[in-house]
């Protein structure tokens, strides 16, 4: 072999080795989270009630893990599908780097999971079999939840009506199949603040509802710096129409800075009405992924706390065109 060729061969060979070692390292040693804890949850009726509230109206687990009916405004849950899963996320429809399904979280699927295993997936994004899931499910935010709230959600999940529903395993494109392994981390739980401290409590609710996940514009899965809550994150409907999240910062011109508490509350309260909860929309009409009908179940006190917190974040000037129709 000629010398330059030999050198090139050695260089390419060494690079290949480094890549292989790296791939093997990430595949074997990640996700790096602790094993499931050995907790046993002694569910009380209060816990189940709190869990039902959080799962349906704050952290909205049931929003992703049920069938949503987008022939109606805001896609309310199709009756009889609570916790059944099955919604598909892929590159074409949702712009995610792979194909995966929201899973069945009724006892049909979770009956063989220990409380510790369910705790671990909620708070770290690692499944019973040790495999990581894509952070579309906001598990990094749930990692901040007060452990008592996580346990209440688990207590509630155990009471769901068992439903059939089994979906293929997630497939990630390269290099997301490796990156996704590096995202889960051990939880950093907080203590649920006293609800009388409305500012702190509002901050807690916004965190465990992961409002920022939808309301912060991202590029390649990374939130744009300085744009927290500034809106503009795009969601595509199957017919090509696009809805973009709103600017929730207190900017007077482009955010919600001129909204009074009454205006804010009224936006949610409309959807407490059973007719407004089931408003048919034609495919060319404005529709949204914002789960209004589920958040409408929050108490006035909790909504007021969220409003209070949102008034204290940094205003960002950012105009968002909320809806555009596929031409």
Residue ranges in contact with ligand HEC by CB under 6 A? 55, 59-61, 63-65, 89, 100, 102-103, 105, 109, 118, 121-122, 127, 133-134, 136-137, 142, 153, 170, 209, 211, 214-215, 235, 243, 245-246, 248, 256, 267, 288-290, 295, 306, 322
CB neighbours of 308 closer than 8 A, spacing ≥ 6? 198, 199, 202
CA angle 273/274/276 to nearest 5° reads 65
**Least distance to ligand HEC from the beta carbon of 315, Å?**
14
A 10 A CB-CB count for 316 gives 19
CB atoms under 10 Å from CB of 267, counted, come to 16
Dihedral sign (CA 67, 72, 73, 77): negative
Question: Per-residue b/e over 78-90, b at no fewer than 16 CB within 10 Å?
Answer: eeebbbbbbbebe
Tell me whether residue 142 or residue 204 sits nearer to ligand HEC (CB atom). Answer: 142
For ligand HEC, which residue has the nearest CB?
61
Its sign, for the CA torsion 7, 13, 16, 21, is: negative
Give 208 or 275: the residue with its C-beta nearer to ligand HEC: 208
> How far, in Å, CA of 7 to CA of 2, rounded?
9
Quote the CA–CA distance of 95 and 24 in Å, as a whole number: 28
Nearest distance in Å: CB 45, ligand HEC: 19
Q: Which is nearer to ligand HEC, 15 or 266 (CB)?
A: 266
* Least distance to ligand HEC, CB of residue 285, Å: 12
Q: How far is the CB of 39 from ligand HEC (least distance, A)?
A: 15
CA 87 distance to own-chain centroid: 14
Q: Which is nearer to ligand HEC, 219 or 321 (CB)?
A: 321
Nearer Cβ to ligand HEC, position 1 or 190? 190
60/230 with CB nearer ligand HEC: 60
165: number of Cβ within 10 Å: 20
Closest separation in Å from C-beta 24 to ligand HEC: 22
* Least gap, CB of 5 to ligand HEC (angstroms): 44
* CB nearer to ligand HEC: pick between 23 and 213: 213
- Which tokens go with 113? 């999971």
User: Least distance in Å: CB of 11 to ligand HEC?
Assistant: 37
């Amino acid at each position: 072999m000629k010398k330059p060729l030999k050198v090139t061969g050695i260089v390419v060979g060494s690079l290949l080795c480094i890549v292989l070692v790296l791939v093997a390292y990430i595949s074997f040693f990640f996700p790096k989270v602790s094993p499931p804890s050995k907790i046993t949850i002694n569910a009380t009726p209060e816990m189940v009630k709190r869990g039902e509230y959080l799962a349906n109206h704050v952290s909205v687990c049931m929003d992703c893990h049920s069938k949503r009916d987008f022939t109606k405004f805001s896609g309310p849950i199709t009756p009889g599908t609570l916790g059944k899963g099955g919604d598909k996320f892929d590159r074409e429809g949702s712009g995610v780097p792979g194909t995966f399904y929201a899973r069945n979280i009724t006892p049909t699927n979770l009956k063989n999971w220990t409380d510790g295993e369910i705790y671990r997936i909620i708070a770290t994004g690692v499944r019973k079999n040790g495999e990581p899931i894509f952070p579309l499910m906001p598990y990094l935010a749930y990692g901040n939840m007060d452990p008592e709230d996580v346990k209440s959600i688990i207590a509630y999940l155990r009471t769901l009506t068992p439903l059939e529903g089994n979906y293929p395993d997630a497939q990630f494109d390269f290099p997301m199949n490796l990156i996704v392994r590096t995202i889960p981390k051990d939880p950093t739980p907080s203590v649920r603040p006293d609800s009388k401290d409305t500012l702190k409590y509002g901050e807690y609710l916004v965190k465990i509802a992961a409002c920022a996940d939808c309301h912060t514009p991202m590029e390649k899965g990374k939130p744009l710096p300085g744009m927290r809550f500034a809106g503009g994150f795009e969601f595509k409907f199957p017919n090509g129409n696009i809805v973009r999240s709103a600017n929730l910062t207190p900017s007077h011109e482009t955010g919600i800075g001129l909204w009074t508490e009454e205006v804010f509350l009224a936006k949610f309260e409309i959807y407490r009405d059973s007719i407004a909860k089931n408003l048919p929309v034609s495919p060319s009409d404005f529709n949204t992924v914002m789960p209004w009908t589920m958040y409408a179940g929050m108490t006035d006190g909790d909504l007021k706390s969220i409003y209070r917190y949102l008034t204290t974040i940094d205003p960002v000037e950012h105009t968002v065109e909320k809806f555009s129709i596929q031409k």
